[in-house]
Structure 1
Amino acid sequence: MKRSTENLATSKITGGRRRPLKTRRKYDMDRFPNEAVMGQQVTVTRQVRASLVKTALKTIDHVNLSLKDGKVKKSKILKVLENTTNSDYQRRGVISKGAVLETEDGKCRVVSRPGQHGVVNAVLLK
C-alpha cells in the first residue's frame, strides 16, 4: 500500500500537467497492523527503517504478570475481557496495550505493545 503525496490526476488551471514535488520513498509506505490474538505462540519478524528488525506476535497464550510484591510470573491467558483501544478489537479478542485480560491469577492490564515488542507484559489489577 502506497500513500499518495498529492493529487496528480487532475490538470492545472492553465492546462499544464501536474508533476510531483518528490517521489515516494520506502518510509512513506503503509503496512497492515499486526494484531495479536489468543493461541499457540507465533512470532514474526519484519524489517523496518534503518535495517532494524521488529518482533511481533501473531498469537500468544501466556502473559508475563507483574505481581504486587514486585515479582514476575508467567500466567496462562483465559480470555480478553475488554479492550478500550477499539470496540472491534474487544469483539475479536485482540490483545493490545491497555487491554484487560482474564488469567489464571486474576484480571490484569497489558502494559507492553505485543504488535511492536513481541511480548505481553501486564500488571495485576485489584
Structure 2
Amino acid sequence: MAISQGKSTRKSTGGRYIANRGKRKSELGREPANTGLDEKRLRKIRTRGGNEKLRLASENKMNLFNPESKTAETVEIITVLENSANPNYVRRNIITKGAIVETSAGKAKVTSRPGQDGIINGVLINE
C-alpha cells in the first residue's frame, strides 16, 4: 500500500470519515530519508515536473558555522547527542534538522534538512 499524505480516515473523536474518493498521485508520500553516520551516500528522487531532489542517505562530515569568529569549516561528525524529532534517533545515529551532534570542533546544532537538501549544515553551540 502506498504512503499517502491525504486526509485521515478518522475523526478526532475516533469516528470514521466516509471516503468520497480514492488516493491521488498528488497526495503521494515517501519513506523518510533517515540520514545516518557513514560515508557519503546520496539518493536521487524524482519530484513533480521531472525535477530531482537529493536525499542524503548517510554522511560523516558537516559544514559548521562558528558565530563568534564568523567562519565556516568542514568538520567530522562523531555522534548524535540529542534529537527532538525522535528519542530513538539518538541510538540509531539518525540526523535531522534540530539534532545536536558531537563534532571534532565541539557540539553543533543541525540547521539544514539532510533528507531534503542533500547536505548537513550546522551552527557551533557554546555551552
Q: Structure 2 vs 1, CA of residues 32 and 106 (structure 1 numbering), >3 Å: closer, same or farther?
A: same
Q: TM-score, normalised by structure 1?
A: 0.82
CA distance in 1, matches of 2:69, 2:105: 14
Q: Distance in 1 between matches of 2:117 and 2:71?
A: 21
The range that moved more, 22-31 or 38-47, is 22-31
What's the offset of the Cα at 1:2?
4.8
- The residue correspondences of 1:2-21 to structure 2 (distance < 5 A) are 2-3=3-4, 21=20
The total of aligned residue pairs comes to 115
1:76 maps to amino acid: E
Q: Is the Cα–Cα contact under 8 Å of residues 112 and 121 in structure 2 kept in the other structure?
A: yes
Aligned position for 1:119: 119
Q: Which secondary structure state, in structure 2, belongs to the residue aligned with residue 101 of structure 1?
A: strand
SS of the equivalent of 1:94 reads coil
- Give the TM-score taking structure 2 as reference length: 0.81
Query: Does the C-alpha gap of structure 1 residues 6 and 36 become closer, same or farther in structure 2, counting only changes over 3 Å?
Result: closer
Q: Which residue of structure 1 aligns with residue 109 of structure 2?
A: 109
Contact 1:84 1:90 in 2 (8 A): no
- The Cα shift of 1:50 comes to 2.3
Q: Secondary structure at the match of 1:45?
A: strand
Higher gyration radius (CA): 1
Per-residue deviation at 1:22?
Answer: 4.2
Contact 1:5/1:24, CA 8 A, preserved across alignment: no
Structure 1: stretches of 5+ with no match in the other structure: 8-19
Counterpart of 1:35 in structure 2 is 34
AA in 1 matched with 2:38: G
C-alpha separation between the residues in 1 aligned to 2:7 and 2:124?
A: 45
Distance 2:28 2:57 in 1: 21
> Residue 88 of structure 1 aligns with which residue?
88
Distance in 1 of aligned mates of 2:97 and 2:29: 21
CA shift digits 1:15-59 (9 cap, x unpaired): xxxxx7445321222211111010000011101122221101111
Helix, strand or coil for the counterpart of 1:91?
A: helix
> Please, which runs of 5 or more residues in structure 2 have no aligned partner?
10-18
